[in-house]
Amino acid sequence: MTVTYDHLLFEISKKGRRAYSLPESSVEKTELASVLPSHLLREEPAELPELSELQVMRHYTGLSNKNFGIETGFYPLGSCTMKYNPKINEDIARYSGFANIHPLQPEKSAQGALQLMHQLENSLKEVTGMDAISLQPAAGAQGEWAGLLIFKAYHEANGEGDQRRKILVPDSAHGTNPASAVVAGYDVVEIKSNEDGRVGVDALKAAVGPDTAGLMLTNPNTLGLFEVDIVEIAEIVHEAGGLLYYDGANANAILGKSTPGEMGFDVVHLNLHKTFSTPHGGGGPGSGPIGVKAYLTDFMPSPRIEKDGDYYKLTDNHPQSIGRVKGYYGNFGVNVRAYSYIRTMGAEGLQQVSEDAVLHANYLRARLSPYYDTPFSSHCKHEFVLSGNRQKKLGVRTADIAKRLLDYGFYSPTVYFPLIVDEALMIEPTETEAKETLDAFADALIEIAKDAETNPELVTGAPHTKAVKRLDEVTAARKPIVIYQKAHDNS
């Protein structure tokens, strides 16, 4: 299909058109000019577009045709868990009893919502092996930040707040890990991975000390490898007086197989928009609940939900709490979808999810390893990392391979991450893809590897079939245009 639609909202606007009808009102107008000083009244109305209803729909349908989602095709983005987002969960989140309720309405008029949250907390306790859950964090990064503030409050309560100022982060970690540590007020110490792609016990021993506040770890890590020394790692950190944080971005690999609680972690977050199937929405909203071991519950974000007989209530009398990290109770609508997913799968289903996710990743890895460098030799979990080093020598970069995949009707894997692998391609197939899709994807990557040898221009010139060709990101960053120019000139 040739996509020709190329207009901005502002370019199709015409004065006088409308796509709304307000409720009728016979109430007399209140002139704000009679109650406010004139300089607080808008001089020029905001230049918003004026369109008919069909024009609005056609505009956004035109845009959607230039966008790629999971239902468009395979989306093997590593560390993002692009699994199917069940439709029924969209229906449920839109039930009036969930969508049209106010966060400050009387507790007794929102018992269904509180009950759902409480039950979701219980399910997540099981899945993580933790003792208490807070649904408040809006996303993984916010969960990390909240978790590290809990570290901080805990060390302060022990009189070690001034002393423990360092967070250890492996060099393979997601960028949010070190950044979250910084906005929690911590200094970051990077731990080098060993040759087999895991946290080296010796490097860790050398790094921990009386200044250690904690270690952040993703397990399996961003290379898709399980940290086999996790028990010893936990012991080393705990013995030094530090705490362990579990980045749950990769939890899709371990459902029903292991829990961060059993591994020795003190605080965890989960990405409900990854492991628990809620849609990514083009970048959000997500949901990043955190779980803690019993001795940290007093420090959790406030308010918390408690069950009193059959009555659910919100409590905010937690003097040691780190406070509130977000408005109200988190991204409730996202949590409704995640709870529906958990109820749909059950414990057995979730375990099957992880088994198939891991099987799929190992299968793709086995099919591709003759054609691409595989930096680490062991079996992977739910994702794996290839290196485009062999192709780079032919003048074809990983970025080119990523763009060429778009021509085959696939989205690209995560590229140039983790940073410790040159020309990295990080592939996460998820459990919801059929073997036929995995095979077609493997075939495409193999063909690209061959084209890199025989017809590199085909790859370096990609994509050839999208609405736009390769975009000039350099000029975009040098001379940023971040709002519609004409609207700006008029203002």
Partner 1 sequence: MTDKKDLLFSKDHEWVERLSDNSVRVGISDYAVEQLGDIVFVELPEVDATVEAGSEFATVESVKSTSEIYTPVSGTVSNINESLEDEPEKLNESPYEEGWLVDITVSEELDLSDLMDAKAYQEYTDSL
Partner 2 sequence: MTEQHRYLPTTEQDRKEMLETIGVSSIKDLFSDIPESTRATKNKAIELEEALSEQALTTYMKQLAGKNTTTDTHAYFLGAGVYDHYVPSIVNHVLLRSEFMTAYTPYQPEASQGELQALFEFQSMMCELTGMDVANSSLYDGFTSLGEACNLATSVTKKQQVLYSKGMHPQAKEVLKTYAYGMEYQVSEAPLENQVTDLNWLKENINEETAAVIIQYPNFFGNVEDLRAVKDLLADSKALLIVMANPLALALLESPGKLGADIVVGDTQPIGLPMSYGGPHCGYFAVRKQYMRKVPSRIVGQTVDSDGKRGFVMTLQTREQHIRREKATSNMSSNQALTALGTSVFLAAVGKQGLQDMAQQSVNHAHYVKHKLAEKGVTVLSNDSVFHEFVVQLSKPVSEVNDRLLEKGFVGGYDVSKEWGADNATLICVTEKRTIEEMNSFVEALAEEENR
At closest approach, how far in Å is the CB of 283 from partner 1? 18
Four-CA torsion 211, 216, 219, 224, nearest 10 degrees: -110
Angstrom distance (rounded) from CA 118 to CA 103: 15
Closer of 363 and 416 to partner 1 (Cβ): 416
Closer of 245 and 411 to partner 2 (Cβ): 411
Q: Is there binding between residue 416 and partner 1 (CB under 8 A)?
A: yes
Residue 169 bridge partners (DSSP): 190
At closest approach, how far in Å is the CB of 472 from partner 1? 10
26 exposure class (CB count in 10 Å sphere: 0-12, 13-18, 19+):
exposed
Token pair of 273 as six digits: 């928009």
At closest approach, how far in Å is the CB of 443 from partner 2? 14
> What are the residues whose beta carbons fall under 8 Å from the beta carbon of 463, sequence distance 6 or more?
403, 404, 406, 407, 469, 470
At closest approach, how far in Å is the CB of 479 from partner 1? 8
Strand pairing report for 212-218 and 414-415? unpaired
Report the partner that residue 294 touches, choosing among partner 2, partner 1, none (CB closer than 5 to 8 A by kind).
Answer: none
Closer of 46 and 468 to partner 1 (Cβ): 468
At closest approach, how far in Å is the CB of 67 from partner 1? 22
Report the partner that residue 334 touches, choosing among partner 2, partner 1, none (CB closer than 5 to 8 A by kind).
Answer: partner 2
Angstrom distance (rounded) from CA 146 to CA 2: 46
Angstrom distance (rounded) from CA 118 to CA 308: 11
Token pair of 133 as six digits: 């859950």
Closer of 35 and 482 to partner 1 (Cβ): 482
Q: Which long-range contacts link 56-62 to residues 24+ away (Cβ below 8 Å)?
A: 56/19, 59/5, 59/7, 59/9, 59/12, 62/3, 62/5, 62/7
At closest approach, how far in Å is the CB of 452 from partner 2? 19
Q: Is there binding between residue 477 and partner 1 (CB under 8 A)?
A: yes
HSE, side-chain direction, 13 A CA sphere, residue 283: 1
Report the partner that residue 46 touches, choosing among partner 2, partner 1, none (CB closer than 5 to 8 A by kind).
Answer: partner 2
Report the partner that residue 389 touches, choosing among partner 1, partner 2, none (CB closer than 5 to 8 A by kind).
Answer: none
Closer of 382 and 397 to partner 1 (Cβ): 397
Q: Is there binding between residue 478 and partner 1 (CB under 8 A)?
A: yes
Q: Is there binding between residue 473 and partner 1 (CB under 8 A)?
A: yes
Report the partner that residue 382 touches, choosing among partner 2, partner 1, none (CB closer than 5 to 8 A by kind).
Answer: none
At closest approach, how far in Å is the CB of 370 from partner 1? 30
Residues in contact with partner 1 by CB under 8 A are 416, 473-474, 477-478
